Structure 1
């Protein structure tokens, strides 16, 4: 029996048990996953791990109440006990009239995910092959002058199959695979030690860059950080490098999530139809992008996904909604439900892309004159209601339009609503990212350094 048949049978067993236990409606998820990871250090294997297992999840709805349960045991007895427990829990839960499955006419018809290329059917890499690519990445990083040691080099492979079924008649699944490789390098000694990294992940091994490219990039990034110090304090332009720019747009994405908007906990809760980015900027979601790890034809509630513009010419077009948050807000779902085995659906996004600009990152640095290029971030203080923003950052100080020295231990601050409206995009739109965002120059932020 194939993975899909096994998982479909488990999901249908869960639904039958839920009906028998007294559920009005139910949906079930069955997941089977396996992963292998290898870490090397100083030319030798340091750690190898393989994990695999099956997880099943059940959500039941009883009179406007819901409950979710999950388990890793898939015996008939466990499934019956799960269903009975879920129904008992639901009967004690508060009533929420917005809960409920999709109507049959809302469900996706096209559920064959094969055309999205989400699964690499080539032979699974052996632990020895993973060790080899990790060692090659480590060696390439060590070959760069100025690197004192490699903190880690690791390679991994994963595969996952999922089936979703519900009492409204939906039943479909898909498989996903993943390959990844990363390297962390160190330069300097003692208190003068600095580190940086590089890493990539793809659905298909054929789309991965070479281990030598990844190792060398990690080393070059690290060596560039030698002699890092604090920048001056004041109001300066800040260039978010494409490595971290997606995090800035991620704050906007979080603010237009229907769950936050429905709670009133969003600094954009009153901004529908208003300018939230400068004119010329589109923020597009495309869940059908081939060979991308989070692409999907249907969401966690069985609705057909489709490309959509979240922001068009700088104007906010809509919220990110699943069925329950859409009903709370008097709208239609945008087919953005995400679903785990042990939790109910909630809104989430896939494959975002922000419009790139005309100028290169280097041209924007020249034009900013004096300011900060941010390449790493740590810690965050974000007020989700007001958009007040403060984060720890590292990167490079710019003087006279040129990078002068590496920077560590500083804080950058502003208000997200204002920051996003003062943005200029570079032309360096990265590929193979779940959120494709170019480097972004933001005027007039506060830098706290020395």
Structure 2
């Protein structure tokens, strides 16, 4: 972790906390410090609505006595000895958890890679304000835009320090810069809204504020005067990339080891079997240089590697933390994410790999169907795979996008959707979940 966030001091405090926990009676322990720094400016209708800045150092300690475990958290200024003694006292009266514990020593990261996650660029509040105002001004200047939902810009960083009682000590930091704007087009009962945003690790990589503002305006205007379409079955639906990312997120949820262990995933019995259309691959890479969700080690000190989670449509891996792996009789693959005192499996830089066809040809081949740009609701049952969500977008006729469509619902089962998906070749890997334009056959549309 760079000197700017004082990694040496935080590592020393974490080491002290672990040593005190051992002296208080813990068999094993780990201490985590999550440091965050952020500032943001939001504007609306050409005026600043808020300017915020925050800093926090959150300390967490986990202790183990046999199979008994307890966790405590504290802010800076706490008494290290008192916190360690409190955690051990809690563990002594906690029920046993046969799967809890630190990562196996053999799995710990030995070398912490520099993944270039931290940009030290200092962005002033004035610069953030100017960016937000510029986005909104450009968006509002586009003919057809009638109102603003507001714009915002932010800059910040997050850092993780981890020390364990069995020899791991490490830290890293990642910066984050973002810009976003939302607008309303049209008047009265015929208003439509849309937005655009960008988020990057490096400030220089951010899309220009003016570009983001114009995209948001154009998207909102294209949605004006939507029509309803009749109910249809066996329809091909195409997901715009920003909607497709959410679809890929359902794949990640279905192959999460914790869900599999709890038997709350519809893919829980499908390891080694075909779960996606043949030829499709889903990858996850925690060590991608400058990757949006990269990390040199996970929340347990394990360094993951790039995995093809689903290869040629066949399920190869679950996302695993140490506890989830033990429950399934497996070995962690370095996907344990720290959330406060808890560790649970998660993806990192996840991608449904692209196909060979352009999005234009994908649309052309559909003939008649629906191109979705926005989804509404959370109608996904991860236990059964049943899928039903509100949607809006554009109707496809004769292989071309025609008029906007709203107030429709698309439905199917994820098991079937996974086997009927065709990816285009337009993937953008700048976010933690990457997906190209996707066509999914055989869906039901509830309309008029």
- After the TM superposition, which of the residue ranges 358-367 and 240-249 deviates more from structure 2? 358-367
2:413 aligns with 415
Equivalent of residue 397 in structure 1, options 395, 398, 416: 395
Deviation readout 1:396-441 (Å, 9 max, x if unpaired) = 1222222222122221110001111001111111130111110110
1:438 aligns with 436
Contact between 1:98 and 1:324, CA under 8 Å: does it hold in 2?
yes
Distance in 2, matches of 1:74 and 1:377, equals 45
- Report the TM-score, using the length of structure 1 for normalisation: 0.95
1:4 aligns with 7
Contact between 2:185 and 2:221, CA under 8 Å: does it hold in 1?
yes
Deviation readout 1:251-305 (Å, 9 max, x if unpaired) = 1111111101111111001111111111211111111111123211211111121
Distance in 1, matches of 2:230 and 2:371, equals 13
2:26 aligns with 23
Deviation at 1:35, TM superposition (A): 0.5
Deviation at 1:231, TM superposition (A): 2.6
2:77 aligns with 74
1:288 aligns with 287
Distance in 1, matches of 2:302 and 2:411, equals 40
1:447 aligns with 445
Equivalent of residue 57 in structure 1, options 56, 60, 69: 60
1:40 aligns with 43
Distance in 2, matches of 1:229 and 1:83, equals 62
Distance in 1, matches of 2:57 and 2:429, equals 32
2:84 aligns with 83
Deviation at 1:88, TM superposition (A): 2.6
> CA 1:84–1:408 in 2, change beyond 3 Å: closer, same or farther?
farther
Equivalent residue runs for 1:314-353 within 5 Å: 314-340=313-339, 342-353=340-351
- Report the TM-score, using the length of structure 2 for normalisation: 0.96
1:198 aligns with 196
- After the TM superposition, which of the residue ranges 353-362 and 409-418 deviates more from structure 2? 353-362
2:301 aligns with 302
1:179 aligns with 177
- Describe the SS at the equivalent of 1:57: strand
Deviation at 1:136, TM superposition (A): 1.4
- Describe the SS at the equivalent of 1:345: strand
Distance in 2, matches of 1:357 and 1:381, equals 28
Contact between 2:156 and 2:176, CA under 8 Å: does it hold in 1?
yes
- Describe the SS at the equivalent of 2:415: helix
Deviation readout 1:159-191 (Å, 9 max, x if unpaired) = 122210010110100111110001101101222
2:359 aligns with 361
**Two-structure CA RMSD over aligned residues (Å):** 1.4
Distance in 1, matches of 2:216 and 2:154, equals 18
Equivalent residue runs for 1:138-287 within 5 Å: 138-235=136-233, 236-287=235-286
- Describe the SS at the equivalent of 1:116: coil
Contact between 2:354 and 2:426, CA under 8 Å: does it hold in 1?
yes
Distance in 2, matches of 1:209 and 1:358, equals 27
- Describe the SS at the equivalent of 2:377: strand
Contact between 2:248 and 2:351, CA under 8 Å: does it hold in 1?
no
State how many pairs are aligned: 444
- Describe the SS at the equivalent of 1:222: helix
- After the TM superposition, which of the residue ranges 199-208 and 353-362 deviates more from structure 2? 353-362
- After the TM superposition, which of the residue ranges 349-358 and 227-236 deviates more from structure 2? 227-236
> CA 1:161–1:355 in 2, change beyond 3 Å: closer, same or farther?
closer
Distance in 2, matches of 1:438 and 1:109, equals 35
Contact between 1:375 and 1:394, CA under 8 Å: does it hold in 2?
yes
Deviation at 1:315, TM superposition (A): 0.7
- Describe the SS at the equivalent of 1:132: helix
Deviation at 1:91, TM superposition (A): 2.4
> CA 1:92–1:363 in 2, change beyond 3 Å: closer, same or farther?
same
Contact between 1:39 and 1:134, CA under 8 Å: does it hold in 2?
yes
Distance in 2, matches of 1:94 and 1:230, equals 56
Distance in 2, matches of 1:81 and 1:375, equals 53
2:115 aligns with 116
**What runs of 5+ residues in structure 1 fail to find an aligned partner?**
none
Distance in 2, matches of 1:378 and 1:74, equals 44
Deviation at 1:381, TM superposition (A): 2.1
Q: After the TM superposition, which segments of 4 or more aligned residues of structure 1 sit over 4 Å from their partners?
A: none
1:99 aligns with 100
Distance in 1, matches of 2:192 and 2:219, equals 10
